[in-house]
A and B are shown apart, each in its own frame.
Chain A
Amino acid sequence: MKIFTEFGRYLLMLKGMFSKPENMKMYWKEFMHQCSEIGIGSLGIVVIISVFMGAVSALQTAYQLVSPFIPKSTIAQIVRDTVILEFAPTLVCIVLAGVVGSKIASELGNMRVSEQIDALEIMGINTKTYLILPKIAASMLTIPMLVIIAGVLGMWGGRFAGVMSGILSKQTFDKGLLQFFKPYNVFFALVKAYTFAFIISSIPAYYGYYVKGGALEIGRSSTKSVVVSCVAILFADYILAQLLLAS
């Protein structure tokens, strides 16, 4: 039963976010601050993960394609599709669930425990609108951008590793990248990116906003929010694949 209570409270929190801002300028400032924290703050880790993810997938695909009848350009196709369909949106978002999610949960948790949220409420500010909405909106804006960057860098990493290890030439890789390209896959990746961005920001916001206790509980809620977000991402990943790819 507890899961239904929590889910109901999560939905009420989301509903509570939508109220008229007290001062649009302050909300805009907070939104831009969150864009910088979530987007720019996560860029470094996304770049590193994406390049290595693409490089490793190129090398491992080449390792498995032993038949001389399969053209080398197939490696680029496989790298492209795995990066676009799965690695860039899902893997990157799982990492972001840890990076961004724990930050959101611990920030809000600390604000709750130290009565900063109460202080805002007393001032007459809707704390759900002021604290949670900008985080979710910023995630919805920046995470799909990060996913696009991850996709591009992943393919570049694959190209770099393939060429540097002498598996295939630049020309062959580029040719493979363009072969049988389906723009729908990019659409699918973006749908996943938006869905995961919402999960990554709203679930930790819920756990942080409603934390009770002290430092220990903040840590616990932060960990729990990451675990729940990761499970929700995997679940949503399966549902979206079933809905949008299985025909």
Chain B
Amino acid sequence: MIEFKDIHKSFGDKKVLNGVSAVFQAGQCNLIIGTSGSGKTVLMKCLVGLFEPDSGEISYSGVNFSEMTQEHRKELRQQIGMLFQGSALFDSMTVEQNIMFPLNMFTKDSYEQKLKRVNEVLDRVNMKDVNKKFPAELSGGMKKRVGIARAIVLNPKYLFCDEPNSGLDPQTSMLIDKLIQEITKEFNITTIVNTHDMNSVMETGDHIIYMYQGVKEWEGSNKEIIFSKNDRLNKFIFASEFLQDAKDMRMLEMKGKIDNHRNMDELLK
């Protein structure tokens, strides 16, 4: 579980986070959504310790992160996995070396044990015969999957994903979403995903916070988001007329005024 209270962060005169608080539970996909510049990346970087918040409290399973010593933070970071927007794989290393890197750094396992673990996680992200390939030889979706494999190789308790779907086609995006969701449930990880992708929100958002200009505007689940009365959130979600129409149809369907499937069948006739 990750809990943060009243997080403030400024860069010069610009206030980027203005008193954000939330609790992210384990075994859930916790989503941070919002328009560009709303502060979601800064919030995520504060949570993982890449930025130091100006004020506020962040605690991991009840332990205050801000008050931890450097050594304690180092230990905690070994329980954190992160998938970066651009995957952040080490260019000069093969896929196998990339995934083995945290194991080499933090375990005393034999090469055979480490290789076994690498193959296990590669198998988990549905990647085969890529051990000796370099990141430059992989597609965007494959890089993301290798990034996930590297993030989970040390069995983390916390998984952070920064825009995991950026630059991917809808089908690959769905595969990545599904994978993140499965891993979260399977290993009871506290997963935090920073995303713009509405499909991800609807598919994986067990718990969602919507950020607007550094403030948490809305909080709920993917089941509640569609009924949100927050205008800004509605504008963000239903940015296109198509999505707005789809929402209206869904609402009518739920109220029993139309039978969507029947109407579609009639249209197809």
Cβ of A121: which chain B residues have Cβ within 8 Å of it?
A: 49-50, 77
Q: In A114-151, which residues have CB < 8 Å from any B CB? A: 114-116, 118-119, 121-126
Flag if A115 contacts B75 (CB, 8 Å): no
Of A122, A124, A126, the contact of B50 (CB 8 Å cutoff): A122
Closest residue of B by beta carbon distance from A20: B71
Cβ of A6: which chain B residues have Cβ within 8 Å of it?
A: none
Cβ of A114: which chain B residues have Cβ within 8 Å of it?
A: 86, 88, 91
Closest residue of B by beta carbon distance from A123: B102
Q: Mark A158-194, 1 if CB is under 8 A from B, else 0.
A: 0000000000000000000000000000000000000
Flag if A22 contacts B88 (CB, 8 Å): no
Tell me whether A124 and B88 are in contact in the complex, defined as CB-CB below 8 angstroms, given that A26-B104, A26-B105, A119-B82 are known contacts. no
Cβ of B225: which chain A residues have Cβ within 8 Å of it?
A: none
Q: Does A23 contact B (CB under 8 A)?
A: yes
Flag if B105 contacts A119 (CB, 8 Å): no
Closest residue of A by beta carbon distance from B73: A124
Q: Does B84 contact A (CB under 8 A)?
A: yes
Flag if A118 contacts B106 (CB, 8 Å): no
Distance between A12 CB and nearest chain B CB, rounded to angstroms: 14
Flag if A115 contacts B78 (CB, 8 Å): no
Q: Does B185 contact A (CB under 8 A)?
A: no
Q: Does A110 contact B (CB under 8 A)?
A: yes
Cβ of B84: which chain A residues have Cβ within 8 Å of it?
A: 115, 118-119
Q: Does B90 contact A (CB under 8 A)?
A: yes
Chain B interface residue number, banded: 20 to 34
Distance between B40 CB and nearest chain A CB, rounded to angstroms: 16
Flag if A123 contacts B88 (CB, 8 Å): no
Q: In B62-77, which residues have CB < 8 Å from any A CB? A: 70, 73-77
Flag if B106 contacts A122 (CB, 8 Å): no
Q: Does B148 contact A (CB under 8 A)?
A: no
Q: Does B237 contact A (CB under 8 A)?
A: no
Q: How far is the CA of A123 from the CA of B50 in the complex (A)?
A: 11
Tell me whether A22 and B48 are in contact in the complex, defined as CB-CB below 8 angstroms, given that A115-B86, A122-B80, A123-B77 are known contacts. no
Flag if A119 contacts B88 (CB, 8 Å): yes
Q: Mark A1-28, 1 if CB is under 8 A from B, else 0.
A: 0000000000000000001001101100
Q: How far is the CA of A118 from the CA of B82 in the complex (A)?
A: 10
Flag if A124 contacts B104 (CB, 8 Å): no
Listed in ascending order, the chain A residues whose CB lies under 8 Å from chain B are 19, 22-23, 25-26, 110, 114-116, 118-119, 121-126
Listed in ascending order, the chain B residues whose CB lies under 8 Å from chain A are 48-50, 70, 73-78, 80-82, 84-86, 88-91, 101-102, 104-106, 160
| For the complex of A and B, 10 pairs with smallest distance between CB atoms | A124-B77, A115-B88, A119-B88, A124-B74, A122-B82, A115-B84, A124-B78, A23-B105, A116-B88, A123-B102
Q: List 18 A-B contacts (CB under 8 A).
A: A22-B74, A22-B105, A26-B104, A114-B86, A114-B88, A114-B91, A115-B88, A118-B50, A118-B82, A118-B88, A119-B82, A121-B49, A123-B102, A123-B105, A123-B106, A124-B76, A125-B105, A126-B74
